Amino acid sequence: MSNIIVQKFGGTSVASPKRIEAVAKIVGQEIDSGNHVAVVVSAMAGETNRLIDLAKKIQKKPDPREFDAVVSSGEQVSAALLAMSLKKKGYNSRSYNAFQMGFKTDSSFGRARIRKVSEEILQDVLEKNIVPVITGFQGFDDENNITTLGRGGSDTSAVAIAVSLNAKECQIYTDVDGVFTTDPNIYDKARKLDHLTYEEMLELSSLGAKVLQIRSVEFASKYKLPLRVLSSFGSNGGTLINSNDNLEEAVVSGIAFTSNEAKITIRKVPDIPGVAAKILSPISDAGIEVDVIVQNVASDNTTDFTFTVHKDFADETSKILEKLRKELGSGEIEVDLDICKVSVVGNGMKSHAGVASKMFGALADEAINIEMISTSEIKISVVLEEKYKELAVRTLHDAFELDKN
Ligand code: ADP
Ligand code: ASP
Ligand code: MG
């Protein structure tokens, strides 16, 4: 079957009965134009947070299996409400949860990875001219436990479904017009981008732009599925993400930021070979990802070793390091939760020198102190005190003139 489009609607797009009716209209228009449509929905805005709070009121560290059963339930409500709304408009529609749809994952509750999407079930539904409205975010494992794909995971559900159906395009409807040069809710000068490569979007998502869950971009890139981000509140083409290079590549295409990380410092470790491995091995053995790393050599043959991890793992990381302290003969361990990471991203940086000096110069002019730096071919990230986050984003946006085409 050709002419298949997958449309995903996020929380704000299905936040109320009125919004659901508006979404049904968008889906209806796509069907009327001759396409087959599979729909994926998130929970109504705020619902997943409410469910998480509820679970935590019963158990501070909720049982992972039951936690996923609770937090995935919001999607079932919005899926059925949207199917009802489509039926009211005269379309033959049915809601499906992950189990009914054959959406198989592994068993890592809270961050499950997709194993298989049963395209037979979906093809069959589409061939009968039924519009499936599928719960995003949820899956089930080999033992039929309900799992979830991590926050923002409905994007990934939609892409996985689009890939399995060999869809023409996966459309991610949200509350902004597309992907912008930075979060338009932080800076009103942010400009909508008409096009991005997978590579650029991967960097933006991994560095904090929550408009797409990173795994959805990885998946789309792997299968060369065109992704389009657009607004369910009225859109003007949105942002298309595919593998085509931009003809006139921007040096910097966007600025991303995150407050998700914590900075961990272990003071006065002996400056001898093998120390970095000794510090980082037990952390990676515990399944904790380390991001930015800095090592400062002090004068007395010791170094201060600093790195960042996700805030959720700050406690566990500092406990691991406490155990190591004696063995290393090192000093204090410090945990700083009051940081943010701001990054400039752009494919054109590959062939352009001077981005770093311009970035550091602009931050210096605002007296913003850079605590750590990390670079790759197409991004530069700096770790700053949290209070400078918004100022840094605006300053860099102005410095690279991202409001101009
Ligand atoms: P949904 O509920 O539709 O999945 P999300 O809240 O997950 O929506 O993602 C949309 C939000 O992403 C926007 O409201 C915006 O605040 C944020 N965002 C962050 N960076 C960007 C960016 N570069 N472009 C567009 N939106 C961004
Ligand atoms: N409802 C889930 C969340 O809030 C999944 C999603 O919105 O994509 O994270
Ligand atoms: Mg989202």
Same domain, 154 and 36: yes
In terms of Cα–Cα distance, which of 51, 59, 209, 55 is closest to 137?
51
pLDDT at 248 over 70: no
| CA 152 to centroid of ligand 3, rounded, Å | 4
Distances (CA, A) of 13 to 19, 38, 54, 234, 240: 6, 16, 23, 11, 19
109: Cα within 13 Å, side-chain hemisphere: 15
- pLDDT band for 262, please (50, 70, 90 cuts): very high
Distance CA 126, CA 132 (A): 7
CB atoms inside a 10 Å sphere around CB 60: 7
Place of tokens 């494992």: 141
Given the CA of residue 45, which atom of ligand 1 is nearest to it? 2
Q: For 174-193, what is the mean pLDDT?
A: 97
Q: CB pairs under 8 A, 24+ apart, for 47-56?
A: 47/11, 47/74, 47/77, 47/78, 48/11, 48/74, 48/137, 48/151, 50/74
Ligand 2 within 6 A of CB of 136: yes
In terms of Cα–Cα distance, which of 296, 381, 299 is closest to 339?
381
Is 318 contained in some domain?
yes
Is 332 contained in some domain?
yes
Given the CA of residue 9, which atom of ligand 1 is nearest to it? 3
117-157 pLDDT per residue, tens: 998 999 999 999 999 999 999 999 999 999 999 999 999 99
Distance CA 364, CA 366 (A): 5
8 A C-beta contact, residue 395 and residue 360: no
| CA 205 to centroid of ligand 1, rounded, Å | 10
379-392 pLDDT per residue, tens: 999 999 999 999 99
So what's the pLDDT on residue 192?
96
**Which residues have C-beta within 8 Å of that of residue 191, sequence separation ≥ 6?**
180, 181, 402, 403, 404, 405
- pLDDT band for 272, please (50, 70, 90 cuts): confident
Is 393 contained in some domain?
yes
Q: Strand 114-117: give its sheet, edge to edge.
A: 114-117, 103-105, 138-140, 146-148
Boundary of a domain, candidates 175, 191, 210:
175
The pair of structure tokens assigned to 21 is 């009716």
8 A C-beta contact, residue 262 and residue 336: yes
Is 71 contained in some domain?
yes
Q: For 200-224, what is the mean pLDDT?
A: 96
Top-confidence residue, 98 or 236: 98
User: Which of 210, 229, 253, when mutated, tests ligand 1's pocket best, judged by the most ligand atoms within 8 Å of its CB?
Assistant: 210
Ion ligand 3 nearby residues (CB, 5 A): 10, 152
So what's the pLDDT on residue 2?
84
In terms of Cα–Cα distance, which of 266, 402, 280 is closest to 333?
266
Distances (CA, A) of 404 to 179, 196, 200, 234, 347: 15, 16, 19, 23, 17
Is 367 contained in some domain?
yes
According to DSSP, the β-strands at 146-148 and 379-385 are unpaired
302-339 pLDDT per residue, tens: 999 999 999 999 999 999 999 999 888 899 999 999 99
8 A C-beta contact, residue 341 and residue 382: yes
Length of the chain: 405
CA 249 centroid distance within chain: 24
Of all residues in the chain, what percent carry a pLDDT higher than 90?
Answer: 89
Domain span including residue 299: 245-405
CA 144 centroid distance within chain: 26
So what's the pLDDT on residue 83?
98
Distance CA 283, CA 77 (A): 39
φ, ψ dihedrals at 230, nearest 5°: -155, 170
Q: Please state whether the predicted TM-score (pTM) of the whole model is above 0.75.
A: yes
CATH code of 93's domain: 3.40.1160.10
CA 237 centroid distance within chain: 22
So what's the pLDDT on residue 247?
64
Same domain, 169 and 249: no
Ligand 2 within 6 A of CB of 187: no
So what's the pLDDT on residue 299?
72
Same domain, 43 and 163: yes
In terms of Cα–Cα distance, which of 37, 26, 43, 3 is closest to 122?
37
The residue whose CA has the least distance to atom 4 of ligand 1 is: 10
User: Which of 14, 39, 42, 53, when mutated, tests ligand 2's pocket best, judged by the most ligand atoms within 8 Å of its CB?
Assistant: 42
Which residue(s) pair with 197 in the sheet? 242
Residue type, 47: E
Boundary of a domain, candidates 140, 160, 175:
175
Same domain, 145 and 284: no
Given the CA of residue 13, which atom of ligand 1 is nearest to it? 3
CATH code of 332's domain: 3.30.2130.10
Distance CA 119, CA 170 (A): 16
Same domain, 380 and 255: yes
- Rounded to the nearest 10°, the torsion over CA 345, 351, 353, 356 is 10
The total number of structural domains that make up the chain: 2
The residue whose CA has the least distance to atom 4 of ligand 2 is: 48
Ligand 2 within 6 A of CB of 138: no
32-79 pLDDT per residue, tens: 999 999 999 999 999 999 999 999 999 999 999 999 999 999 999 999
